[in-house]
Amino acid sequence: VCETMNDLLIAYKMLGSNKVRIRPLGSTEGSISASCPEEIRLYDFPRGTVVMDSLKAADKASDGIRIHSVIAFCGQQTVGTVRDRILLGKNPVATRPSEGGEDYVKTIESFVKGVLDRLRPEGTGLFKFDCVNGEAVLTDISFGMYDLNHTFGLLQAQKVAPESVLFSWSAVPSKNLDVWAVWSKLLELHIAYNPSKKVRADRKGAFPLAFVKNGAAQFIAVAPTAEEAAAIKSQVDDILRQGIEENTEVEHSSFEDVNQRRIWCQGPRPEYRRETQRFNLPSRSIPLMRPKKDVIVLPGGYEPLTEFFNFCKEVLHLDDDQVIYTSGKTYNLDDDIDEEVVSKLKAIVGSAQEDHFALVPYSTTDNFNRWASQITALHASVIGDDAEWVKKFGHKGILHRHIRTPDQPSIIEELGVNVKVAKGYVCSTVEDLLDAYKAIGTSEVVIKPNFGAAGEGIIFVSEEEQLKLYDFPMGDVLLEEKLNLDKASDGIVLSPAVHYMESKLVGKALVDQIMVGTGYAGWRPSVAPKVFQDFASRLTRKLVGKLEPRGPGGFDFLSVEGEPILSDVNTGRFNGAHFPKIFREMYAPNKEYYVFKYKPPANLDIWVFWNRLLESNLAFIPGKTQSGVFPLIYLRGLSGQFIILADTMQICSKMHERTIKLLQKRGGPSVPKIGRAVQAVSAVSGNETDMILIKNAHSIFAPERLGVSNVLVGGESIRGLLDDETAAAMEPFCRSVIDARDMFVVPGFVDIHQHLIGGGGELGPRSRTPEAKLSEILEGGITTVIGVLGTDAVTRHLESLLAKTKAMNEDGITAYFWTGNYHLPEVSLMGSAKRDVALLDLCLGFGELAISDHRGSHSSVEELIKLVGDVRIGGMIGGKCGVTYCHMGHCKSRLQPLFEIVKQTDIPITSMLPTHMDKTPELVDEGIEWIKMGGYIDLTANAIATRKTIDYLCEKSVPMAHVMVSTDAYGSRVEYDDEGQPLRAGYAGTTGLLTLMRRLYFEDEWPMEDILPLVTSTPASFTKLVKKGTISVGKDADILLLDRNTLSLQYVIARGSVMKTPDSTRRGFGE
């Protein structure tokens, strides 16, 4: 053991060896060899004390590989047997059974046993030996570590294959090769070793111990003999080196194969735009899922959809691992399926070797194929037509000729089927529309997008000028004559539809679509004449025979003077009627059925509705009852679809009437008979049951630390701060329970400065910043926000800001706004700032008014006095704070205009609030004077500058109760040159308050109760938002749950609704 250079030189002389090794103590890295004193003198002890020992060449095995042996231990027991490490340079790349001979191995095992008996370790480690002249030479002992190159492999082998020969090695996979593709190839070659299977002595194969795509991998080969293990290693190396040739051939399977496990992935086509399609299409397959068999991919971040799955999970006995949620960031589900989702699907498919999986998309598109090819590479199939078939036949365009090629037959004509269609043409441009309009020769026509569905994009037109305005939002369209349609006896348009799955028709008869406007509101057995139905069925069979589809589709007909008109082609995709028909076949094939749409009220929880059905004996419970009502889609506030199953249509009709009344019923919910325990508790706001219990919190800050660990939320308010006993008693009566173990519970942030409709523009139109997004505001922990206009009142307007503020309130958070903008004379909505503040509920004051800024109006003190006084009076009349919120610039006058107002008038200093007060050191110093006079200041969240300002304020003993912080989110951040010209611009995000909190807490070691007032209680009290900023009984339930170890945001509750969970964040309209 050596600590100095002199030690090394003495040791080298004493060892008497030409070649020595120098190894740092306590480290597996930094070992070097030396062969002369001059080399030794260059060593600088980078890791402290070292060991020097003589370096002797190890003996070679029969294949020329030197014998460097290892044996692992765990506690006082060895793991496996002595194995040889195969080194590439100094790096171990594989292990194999030792080639040192029986005596050599026994010597090592005896020695190691003696050491373990004496030292009695409790952890893991390794002994390393070299075979030198046939003898075992101990070269290293490592305690308290796993060595990925061999220890983990030995442990694994000892557990699952104790009698087998193990070969473990490192490798670098070829580019873009992932572990599931390798595993699939191993299965194909019958060399996949599955450790979970029952141990057999003859089992052999390879298994990845570690695998990083585009990185490194670690494998073990298990076999009865060393030769077989080496052969398996060679096969694996070939796979890793050569990669796997991509198989572009996709296997198609039949929906009728009930043994296959379906992966439902029903995302809308790229052309679709409706919000209902975004969530309806994925959700309507949930009721078709089979327990412990099928899997579904759903868009994340949308609470009503999560609620519907959880309902079906309980009623249909599904499991949590049967659903995978995407991020929910994009409209199209296929585009939202990222590497994380694909990896989960690969794990499901790859780990169930005996099962066959089939992907079930809404329609096969390029977007679908982008990710699905990675799953089909694992031998999963697809139920549906291929993308090329869909592009050719899967659209309405097959009905008509293109207006540019009127002499070229349509696909329907080429198929040689005798059917009437409306007079019309395919069009791609406005010029095409105008030409087609003239060719059709009728005044009233209909525009139908080629790839439209559920009535989306259908427009009735009666003038040529209207056609000139069309902008083809969904691509090519049909322009058709408007038909005079027949109606059934009840006045509903007669619109029979036939649906198929592959080569067979679905259902026993046609269904009539219950049309409302251009869309359908449900289905019922067709009341069309039998001859009409027979014709439609024969025609569909003929078309199916000609088209040879591999998946689902359908054809819609209209009746004109009793004659069938083929009006719509829904080929290459699932139709809405497929799902109730399949549901009926699964659970009540002999019953009549009626399907209707009805949007559930936003506040009608699905369990409340279900319990109403149960109490009224109307609930259809799959597998238990044979008649009743079941929700096929239930997205409260967005859409609903319900199926009624009964012996006769008359009974269906009566059930329909009763179900509508239950959906429309007002008042408290019923007590459930199954499912969650939702119960009316009169002690909490009358009949209110929509309660959330937050339990087991590590700490609750109000902002001060409270002595309880449970919060009860009812409606939009905090109903109780409970001890553990009371919380346990209340838990059965709560609709939702959040376990806040290891979390801090704090008030939601109050952000008084956000550019909700965007800001900027100082660098021209391209520098205009985007509007605020609900999800981004929630990710910043903000539950109350005040919007501002800013510099630009030319291209942005207070009317838009007011509308955006209302939208944010409708989305579930609390939002207000400051009227006016940077400049005087003021812009307003009601004729003056005073009237805005007094008369508009959501207007709290005026701002942000530019003071000492080159972009401001450079108004006189007299003009400022008049404005501030008017705003204050408006606040007094309207019961508001009536504050003039002042944007502080870089000009030398700084706060002087505001000091003059205080000096010249009796207007309270609290009628003005200067912001951006951390902009310059001089401004900070004036802010201290402002606070000493009784005023408040607002800082702009910037992790570095804001912290420096806060530290400086504390050094000056400034009362921090007069300081608050806001984000300036979506406001532009412009950099100027020395001459005041703008150079570049960005914009502020919404997470500044969270970032500042983390820095103050972890780096500056501020107590949480000192940080929180800056962003919660102080801005709330200053703006007179009396129900905001604190956690106390009766206050608004605006609550954040933070991981106490990282302060990462886990949950956001705003006005009593869960807006963010660890897995999803609510999104606003259009996100």
Catalytic residues: 968
Phi and psi for 138 in degrees, rounded to 5?
-70, 125
Q: Amino acid identity of 390?
A: V
> Could you tell me which of 416, 450, 363 has the C-alpha nearest to residue 546?
416
Beta strand 937-940 pairing with 912-915: unpaired
Report which of 395, 399, 454, 105 is spatially closest to residue 276, judged by C-alpha positions: 454
| Residue with token string 């952890």 | 123
Report d(CA 815, CA 809) in Å as an integer: 6
For residue 641, give every residue at least 6 positions away whose Cβ sits within 8 Å of its Cβ, in sequence order, or none: 280, 284, 522, 576, 580, 595, 596, 597, 631, 632, 633
Residue 714 neighbours by CB distance under 10 Å: 23
The tokens for 309 are 């799955």
Contact assessment for residue 154 and residue 79, using Cβ atoms and an 8 Å cutoff: yes
User: Sheet holding 165-171: strands in order across?
Assistant: 135-143, 124-132, 68-74, 77-88, 91-97, 165-171, 217-223, 205-211
Instruction: Let me know: does 738 contact 695? Beta carbons within 8 Å.
Output: yes
Residues 6+ away with beta carbon under 8 Å from 337: 265, 267, 297, 326, 371
**Pick from 388, 378, 384, 465: which is nearest to 187 by CA?**
378
Question: Which residues touch 29 (CB under 8 Å, ≥6 apart)?
Answer: 47
**Which whole-number Å values give the CA distances from 480 to 224, 462, 585, in the listed order?**
73, 12, 36
Q: How far is CA 1006 from CA 705, 750, 1000, in A?
A: 14, 20, 6
Query: DSSP readout, 90-123?
Result: TEEEEEEE--S-HHHHHHHHHHHHHHHHHH--SS
CA distance 353 to 184: 9
H helices, E strands: number in the chain: 30, 48
Instruction: Return the axis-axis angle of helices 226-242 and 179-188, rounded to nearest 10°.
Output: 130
Give me the residue label for tokens 């059917």: 419
Tally Cβ neighbours within 10 Å of residue 779. Answer: 17
Residue 265, classed as helix, strand or coil, is strand
Place of tokens 């009905």: 399
